[in-house]
Structure formats: structure tokens, C-alpha cells
Amino acid sequence: MSEYSDLFDKKLIFWNISASDRDDLYRKVSTRLQNLGVVKESYYSTLCKREDEFPTGVKTQYLPIALPHANPENVNQAFIAVVQTNKDIAMKQMGTNEDEVTKNFFFLGIVKEKQSLQVKLLQRFMQLMNDEEFVDKFKNLTNSDDVYEYLVEHF
């Protein structure tokens, strides 16, 4: 277990989500997160605004992902919500704004007290998503319990 393990929660793993596009996905995930009390009502609009200004798509060697997040004042508690859609969603890449498609999203809930974690989390995601063995196993996970156990064990 690492310092990140407590950010994962089985209730925050949403698998095989149906969404027509990025905004639809963000709306659905934001609603779920708000219903669970981990984000404020302002989360959805600030999440979309931040994504428009600073895209969060990351094209790694073995698996394209996105790391959407909103500013800490929109988050009630620190979390990582793991989301896989049932079809590719168009995104823009972090830093380059190039087009990317992905089904794999890790919504980061960063609170003010843990803001220093953001860079460390990004580094850890890059490390894991460029590990062929980790990604191969991750791609074959089919339910939230297995996803949770796998991420807690390897993160």
C-alpha cells in the first residue's frame, strides 16, 4: 500500500459507462460524485472549464488515459475515481492539445491540504501506464472489485 491507496474507493469505480462525448461523461461522473458527497455542486462546470483551458489527455506507451480534475475548492474529499467508458471519447492531450481518444479516465479529486500530491500522482500514472505488464493486466479487469484491488496493490 502506498500513500495514494486511500484515494481509491470501490464506490468510485465506474465501469462500462455509456457516454456520447466528454461533456456527457463529465456530467454523469460529476453527478455520481456529487451524490456520494465527494464533490460540490460547482464541480461539473469547473471540471469542463478547466479541461477546455488545460486538457488532461495523456498518451502513454501502452494506454491512452485522461486525468480530469477541478480546482480544490470544488472537492470535499481527496479521491481518485476510476472510469472506463464503453466506447472511445475524444479528448485533447495535456501540453500539446493534439487529438486523442480514450476509454480510460482517472478523475482526480485534489483538496488544498493534498495539492502537492498532484504532481506525484501524474508521475505515478505515467510510470504505471508505460509499464506493459501493468497495462495488459489492467485492460483485462472486468469488475470494480478487481479494479480496486489491482490499483490499491500496484499504485
Q: Determine contact, residues 83/147, Cβ cutoff 8 Å.
A: no
Is residue 98 a contact partner of residue 92, using CB atoms and an 8 Å limit?
A: yes
Q: 138 — alpha (psi -120 to 50), left (phi > 0) or beta? A: alpha
**Residue 56 lies in domain:** 5-149
Determine the 3-state secondary structure of 58 from DSSP. Answer: strand
Please count the structural domains in the chain. 1
State residue 2's pLDDT score.
66
Encode pLDDT of 10-44 as tens digits. Answer: 999 999 999 999 999 999 999 999 999 999 999 99
Do the domain assignments include residue 145?
yes
pTM of the model: 0.94
For residue 90, give the CATH number of its domain: 3.40.930.10
Integer Cα distance of 64 and 43 in angstroms? 24
Of 41-45, 69-73, 105-109, 115-119, minimum mean pLDDT range? 115-119
CB 154 within 8 A of CB 4: no
Res. 129 pLDDT band, cuts 50 70 90:
very high
Does 12 reside within a domain?
yes
Identify the residue with better confidence: 117 or 84: 84
Give 35-76 pLDDT, tens digit per residue: 999 999 999 999 999 999 999 999 999 999 999 999 999 999
> Dihedrals φ, ψ of 73, to 5°?
-65, -10
